[in-house]
Amino acid sequence: MFSSNITQNTLHVRAKSLARTWYENMHTVTPTKRKNPNTMYSGLYAQRASGTGSQFWQYRSVESGDDASKIDWRKSARTDEYYVREHEIDKPSDHLIWCDSKATMYIPTDKSDMAYVISLAIMSFYLDAGQQVTLLHAGKAVKTFDHAVTMFLSAIGVHKESSIDNTTLLSRYITPGTTNITLVSDFLNENTRQIVDLLTKRNITAALVQTLTHQEQNFLFTGHVKLKDQIHTDFVSPSIEEVRTSYLEKLREIQDYLSYTTRTHNWPYVIHTIEDDPNISNDLYSVVCL
Amino acid sequence: MITFLTPALLWGLLVLPVIWGLLRIFPPPVRHEQFGGLVLLQSVIQPTQKNIRHKVPWWIWLIRLLLIAAIIVGFAGPVYQSAHDTAIELDKRTIIVEDGGWASVVNWEERQNYIDALLRQSPDIANVDFISLSTNDIRKLSTSSSDSNLYSIKPQPWIPDRTVLRDILDDDTYKTVIWLTDGFVYDEAVSKDLLQKKNKNLHIVQPDKRNSAQITLGRVHRKTATSLDVNVYTTFPDIFIKQQQKSESASLFLQTIDTNGRVLQTRPLPLAPDAKTTTVTFDLPVQLANKVATIKLANAKTPAHIALADQRDRRILAGMIDLTGEQDLQTTSPLLSDQHYIQQALGLTQSLVILPLDALLSRGVDIIFLPGSTVIDKQQTKLLEDWVTNNGGVLVQFADETLTSDALLPVRMLRDVRTLGSTLSWETPQQLAAFDESSPFAKILLPENDKIVVNRQMLADPSAPRNNSQVWATLEDGTPLVTAKENGNGLVVFFHVAANPSWSTLPLSGVFPSLLEEISRTFASAISTKINTHQKVTHDDKWYIVQGVETNATLKNIDLSLTIDEQTFASFATAESPAGFYRSTQNVSENLRPRHLLPENKLPLDVLDFSNISHVNTYTMQQENIVYYKKWFLLTAFILFLLDVMITSLMNKKKKNALAVGVLLIGMCLSHHTEAQNIDNNIATAATSTTFAYIQTGDRDIDRLSKAGLATLGRTLTARTSVEPSTPQRVTLDQDLRAYSLVYWPINTSSTISGLSVQQVKTVSSFITAGGLLLIDTQGKQIEPAQLRSFFTGIFIPPLFPVQQNHVLHRTYYLLDRLSGRFDHNTGSPAIWMSQPALDGTSSVIIGDVDWSGAWAQDDSGFPLLPVNFEQQENALRTGVNIVMYAFTGTYKEDQIHVGALLERMEKETQ
């Protein structure tokens, strides 16, 4: 019923090239925009806990049971106490990717294609950085990019056949350990608020990518237009111009809400209009720089 | 009744439902758009299954269907033909009576259609009797289909015999009589009888006044030798004039036609709305007036449009007595005989018969020339004297040594002949003195360098009484040369010299014919006309027709040996004695006598009056009115189309488009649609084919001549050259002329030389600079240079120069000695001026005053519209061809390469 014209190969190529673009942009953007580039490159994020990482974290007094070899003699020599040198714990961050697969995303298929490409590009980016990526629909971590593509398509395919609501899906898969999530969707659902509320409640950092078509963003239909989507029956308006205002109001409402929420939580939020920027470049780069 | 030229196309209307189906998917088009954001709209508008097609208002469908229907009906060619009012019921005992005479010719087709309609409405009756009162044979007409019998009946050029109708009404054979009358009364008694019959179911169908025989011509009256009159009678002058004003063909023309059918002179027919009778006078030279056989309306339809001239009174017959001895001299040495000189002189103007005296007098000669050498005996002298005194003859005698008798001389003569300038004479030869003002010869001018010299002269006896004799010409010494005297009704004239050159140089000079012509014209014709009116014809005379009147009506089965008597001439022409020229059985050599269709004393004909008759049903045959509706339907379709486009644009919120279409629509309605299109069409024609144009002057006759002239020139060019112009077009100075290659501009005083407006100046200037040739013709009117100059103020016309003999215009196509038109300049001064050539060596303006269009113009049958002779017209046309060639090829023929060919051609011509 829902179909995407995009093949595995195309998806692969486009997602890869997009990811490459981001890498390239990484070098050219201004320093202020950068976020922790070193760790970015190492693929590791410092965690606020003691561990076996290479990064120095703190000194602490020796306690009973500490190995003598762990005593930092240089530090201890300056004082009367013995100190132990502790390193931060090193743990790959766990990225959750969620690509909206509800039926309206396939209208037109360009939109879903673009959503796939963006999702996969983000996955590729993280994978290349050695981080753990989990595709929400599949519920398991992705190992390689090729694996990601295969899994992505089958998972999405399975999911879009099912009738599970997005909110349910999200709440089911977001485990308590989840730290951040990237959401790729048109956010034209009624339950957009519920999703965002869910995320804020769980203290998860989210990046929102809103993919819209030009018409969805601007609603420029004129004359006699018969509007269709896959779920709703034929919708016809004799004077489409009258509808425009109310539609744009609704859309603005959603977008205002999203941008307000993201701003307060310091989340990235990108609106991508697919016809306007088919090459998806800079604006999405902020998403991967969480 | 509306009919269609191609009714088959109407089947196309059946396609309308199909088209309706097609239109459902036609504008406004519904676009199917996939839209993911629909979910947001759900709360705004409820989803609907309703079909958008139903939202197109019904009146848009109506407009579109009407549009298609209009196109289909338009191309099917709807024609409105006014239906005949045929509310007459036919039965088996019905007879249809048709006048079928001369007046029915005018609307014959309509009459036939009327009868056809009558027949068609009663298909249950197989046959209906029909009779034409002009042929009186009863035939049966079928009601089932168009009867070829009906259409084979033709009107006859005489009056219908209404007594037959009276007999039919009296007879019991027929119950219903339908009489298609021509509306005129011929015999009052019969007409009265007819209208008073009450025993029959009589239906009278009369023609519409507008479409009846409106104009009848009387007979040709000959007032003097040179002037002919004809009375034109109009039955309903006011209606007729209104009709004339409406029709395109403008004014009516009368033409004098000679015995060979050639047009001698054309005159417009002036009609006043309240005058039933109009007299048109033709002035022609004697010799032409003599030849006039008929005067007819140009494009005559009925025999009543032709007036016949009585050929018996048309010629002044001059005679000379045939004497055998004289005849010998005439044949052996003609230059010594008097007769020869008289014959030569008369030959120029009138016909001369030479017969023995008895025959001469019985032939009714008007004037007898009697050379002095003619010896006549006493009996003959008495006959002559009697002829002069009683019959009003004119006798012209010449002097001779042998003249012995003073009888029939104005004065008594001295027997001795005065000899001047001989060896034994003191006196020198005398010259002819200028004519006295009282003399009838006063208008004749004497040649200045070629004096008429008299050597010998016969003198009047000074002692003899004058007896009212007049001296018409004298010598310089005062002695008489020509004397005359009225003798009873007649006149005797005496030349004091012989008619041969041994006495004087008079017979050799050009004055001699003038003198003889003057005598016959002023005296002989006047007297003979006077006498002719009292002419008595004996009742024994029988006449037979030699030439019937030819018109649209046909003359058939005319018995050529038919004889009629004298009384019949004063009555209406009938089948037994149709109109035409008759010859007397008694005197075969006598000239032809006309039998008029309608006796002039009955003209204008009375019209049948039905106003006081209640027992008879009268109907009027409506004038057939044919209107073609095609263009209106197509125009409607176009307007509907624009309307539809406008509405669709409005509905699609394309206000700009709608506004544009709206403006177009309103503009179309406001502008004078057809005119603009006409001019556009004309210009389109002119731009795509060679087209000549003429400037409209407002004077209908001039415009008509211009058009006919250019058309004739066009035909000539097509026939003789590779230039094939299309129909000439009428233009005004307010339109763009640049599409035309040659513009003919008749300027005469009546077209008011009042100067041009700024726009007109621009038009003319742009035409000249665009390379067109402007042919200005002042049509014989002398226009002051200053007047012309002020007229053309503002237009840059290069200086003018006269066209000389060596100008290339004389040889662009024909080798011409003179560039001629209707008025030729015999003075040798150039008639045509040209502007200095422009850079390409071609002049753009040619000005002449010779009236080219008048010389070119021919009617449809190839007769000149104005009196020009063949040679003159040919020369004018050749000039026209040269002008056109000049316009197209410029100075091409000036190229030296043509010199060889030209010289060779000229040599051939001189050989």
Residues 251-290 of chain A with CB under 8 A from chain B are 251, 254
Please give the Cα distance from B274 to B21 (Å, whole number).
64
Enumerate the H helices of B301-445 as residue ranges: 324-332, 338-347, 357-363, 378-391
What are phi and psi for residue A254, nearest 5 degrees? -60, -50
Q: 0.90 exceeded by the pTM?
A: no
Cβ separation of B48 and A246 shorter than 8 Å?
no
| Closest in B48, B51, B653 to A235, CB measured | B48
B384-421 tens-digit pLDDT: 888 888 877 888 988 887 776 777 888 888 877 888 87
- Which residues from chain B sit within 8 angstroms of residue A272, using beta carbons? none
- Least-confidence region, from B113-127, B749-763, B864-878: B749-763
CB B737 within 8 A of CB B772: yes
State the average pLDDT for chain B.
78
Choose the most confident range, by mean pLDDT, from B73-77, B195-199, B234-238.
Answer: B73-77
Segment 22-81 of chain A within 8 Å of chain B by CB: none
Give the B-side interface with A, CB within 8 Å: 28-45, 47-52, 55, 652-653
Interchain proximity A221–B33, CB inside 8 Å = yes
Report whether B467 contacts B419 (CB < 8 A): no
Which residue of A190, A225, A251 is in closest CB contact with B33? A225
**Highest mean predicted confidence (pLDDT) among A4-13, A263-272, B134-143:** A263-272
| A225/B contact by beta carbon, under 8 A | yes
Using the beta-carbon criterion (under 8 Å), do B653 and A223 form an inter-chain contact? yes
- B37 vs A246: CB contact, 8 Å cut-off? no
Residue A153 Cα, gap to closest chain B Cα (Å) = 21
| Average pLDDT rounded to a whole number, residues B776-802 | 74
Q: pLDDT: is B753 or B119 the higher one? A: B119
From the candidates A110, A219, A224, which should be mutated to test the interface with B, based on the most B CB atoms within 10 A? A224
- Answer whether the bond into residue B501 is a cis peptide, omega within 30°: no
pLDDT on residue B713: 93
d(CA B310, CA A115): 114
What is the pairing mode between strands B617-621 and B201-207? parallel
Interchain pair A224, B28: CB under 8 A? yes
B652 contacts in A (CB within 8 Å)? 222-224
Q: Do A224 and B50 touch (CB under 8 A)?
A: no
User: B846-893, pLDDT tens digit by residue?
Assistant: 888 888 888 898 887 778 888 788 888 898 999 999 999 988 888 777
Give residue B656's pLDDT band: very low, low, confident or very high (50, 70, 90): confident
Minimum distance, in Å, between the CA of residue B652 and any CA atom of chain A: 5
- A253-281 burial, b if ≥16 CB within 10 A, otherwise e? ebbeebeebbeeeebbbbbbbbeeeeebe
Tokens of A243: 């509808």
Residue of B24, B30, B31, B35 to mutate when probing chain A, most A C-beta within 10 A: B35
Q: Kindly indicate the confidence band of residue A4, based on its pLDDT and cuts at 50, 70 and 90.
A: low
Q: Which of B403-412, B617-626, B724-733 has the lowest mean pLDDT?
A: B617-626
User: Which band of pLDDT confidence, cut at 50, 70 and 90, is reported for residue B827?
Assistant: low
* Mutation for A interface: B26, B31, B34, B652, most A CBs within 10 A: B34
- CB contact under 8 Å between B30 and A236, yes or no, is yes
- Residue B429: is the preceding peptide bond cis (ω within 30°)? no
The answer, yes or no, to whether residue A48 has pLDDT greater than 50, is: yes
Is the pLDDT at B197 greater than 70, yes or no? Answer: yes
B635–chain A nearest CA distance, Å: 30
* Rg, Å, chain B Cα set: 39
Neighboring chain B residues of A254 at a CB cutoff of 8 Å: 40
Residues of B in contact with A246 (CB under 8 A): 41, 44
Nearest-CA distance from B624 to chain A in Å? 54
Q: What is the pLDDT of residue A2?
A: 42
A107/B31 touch (CB, cutoff 8 Å), yes or no: no
Look at residue A140 and tell me whether its pLDDT is greater than 60. Answer: yes
Structure tokens at B507: 């017979």
Residues of A in contact with B52 (CB under 8 A): 224, 226, 236, 238
On average, the pLDDT of chain A sits at 74
Q: From the CA atom positions of chain A, what is the Rg in Å?
A: 23
Q: In this complex, is the C-beta atom of A190 within 8 Å of any C-beta atom belonging to chain B?
A: yes
CA distance B483 to B411: 8
pLDDT band with cut points at 50, 70 and 90 for residue B610: confident
pLDDT at site B394: 86
Q: In this structure, which amino acid lies at residue A225?
A: V
Report which of A223, A233, A152, A213 is spatially closest to residue B45, judged by C-alpha positions. A233
* Residue B752 zone, left/alpha/beta (φ > 0; ψ -120 to 50; rest): left
What is the number of other CB atoms lying within 10 angstroms of the CB of residue B463? 7
Q: What is the pLDDT of residue B313?
A: 61
CA angle A50, A54, A55 (to 5 degrees): 70
Q: What angle do CA A56, A57, A62 make, to 5 degrees?
A: 100
In this complex, which of A107, A111, A243 lies closest to B44 when CB atoms are compared? Answer: A243
Residue B123's nearest CA partner among B143, B150, B141 is B143
pLDDT digit string, tens, across residues B266-321: 888 877 777 788 888 888 776 677 778 888 887 777 888 888 887 666 556 778 88
Distance between B59 CA and the closest CA of chain A, angstroms: 17
pLDDT number for residue B717:
92
Q: How far apart are the first and last CA of chain A?
A: 36
With tokens 């209707």, the residue in question is B822
- Cβ contacts of residue A192 below 8 Å, gap of 6+? A254, A257, A258
Nearest CA in chain A to B45: A243
Tens digit of each residue's pLDDT (9 = 90 or more) over B137-152 = 888 887 765 567 777 7
Task: Please check the confidence at residue A287 and state whether its pLDDT lies above 90.
Answer: no
What is the percent of chain A with per-residue pLDDT over 70, rounded to a whole number?
69
**Facing residue for B28 by CB, picked from A104, A221, A223:** A223
pLDDT in tens, B326-368: 555 666 677 878 888 888 887 655 667 777 888 788 776 778 8
Query: Contacts of residue A238 in chain B, CB cutoff 8 Å?
Result: 52, 55
Residue B38 C-alpha, separation from nearest chain A C-alpha, in angstroms: 7
Residue-wise pLDDT tens digits, A191-204: 777 888 888 888 88
Beta-carbon count within 10 A of B108 CB: 19
Query: Between the CA of residue B432 and those of A7, A37, B451, B478, B897, what are the distances in Å?
Result: 132, 145, 7, 9, 58
The pLDDT, as a whole number, for residue A177 is: 64
Using a CB-CB cut-off of 8 Å, the residues of chain A touching B31 are 223-226
* pLDDT score recorded for residue A135: 80
Could you tell me which chain B residue has the CA closest to the CA of A226? B32
Best A231, A235, A240, A251 residue to mutate vs chain B (most B CBs within 10 Å): A235
- Tokens 């003429």 locate to B694
Strand, coil or helix: B373? coil
Q: Count how many pairs of residues, chain A against chain B, have C-beta atoms within 8 Å.
A: 105
Question: Could you tell me how far CA B358 lies from the centroid of its own chain?
Answer: 43
* B803 has a pLDDT exceeding 50: yes
Residue among A231, A238, A246 whose CB faces B44 most closely: A246
pLDDT given for residue B744 in this prediction: 92
- Residue type at B432 in one-letter notation: L
Contacts of A108 in chain B (CB under 8 A): 34, 36
Interface test with A, best of B30, B39, B60 (most A CBs within 10 A): B39
Answer whether B34 sits within 8 Å of A219, measured CB to CB.
no
Query: Which is higher by pLDDT, B466 or B530?
Result: B466
Q: Does the beta-carbon distance from B31 to A224 stay under 8 Å?
A: yes
- CB contact A191 to B (< 8 Å): no
Residue B489 corresponds to which amino acid?
A: N
Cα distances from B332 to residues A162, B293, B376, in angstroms, run 143, 38, 22
- Mean per-residue pLDDT for B801-814? 84
With beta carbons under 8 A apart, name residues in chain A contacting B657: none
- Dist CA A136 CA A95 (whole Å): 9
Mean pLDDT along residues B665-675: 66
**CA-based nearest distance A163→chain B, Å:** 17
Q: What are the tokens at B228?
A: 């002919």
Looking at the partner chain, which of A215, A216, A228 has a beta carbon nearest the beta carbon of B32? A228
pLDDT greater than 70 at residue B586: no
